[in-house]
């Protein structure tokens, strides 16, 4: 059984990791979106 203090810090770490991942996903989405529209402009 994990001690409450350790549990809380682990939860905080998980939150930090999630925030980092969502930030990374957002950056990727924006980059892909920019590439997509740039590519679309060339096609038209």
CA-CA distance, 28 to 22, in Å (whole number)?
10
Distance between start and end Cα atoms, the chain: 61
> What is the Cα–Cα distance from 21 to 26, expressed in whole angstroms?
8
- What integer pLDDT is reported at residue 24 of this predicted model? 93
Task: Write the pLDDT tens digit of every residue in 18-27.
Answer: 999 999 999 9
Per-residue pLDDT at 35: 87
Residue for token digits 């939860």?
11
pLDDT tens for each residue of 1-44: 666 667 778 889 999 999 999 999 999 999 999 988 888 777 65
Domain ranges of the chain: 17-44
Of 27, 26, 20, 23, the closest CA to residue 12 belongs to: 20
């Amino acid at each position: 059984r994990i001690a409450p203090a350790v549990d809380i810090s682990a939860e905080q770490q998980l939150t930090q990791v999630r925030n980092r991942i969502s930030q990374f996903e957002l950056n990727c989405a924006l980059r892909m979106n920019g590439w997509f529209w740039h590519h679309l402009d060339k096609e038209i």
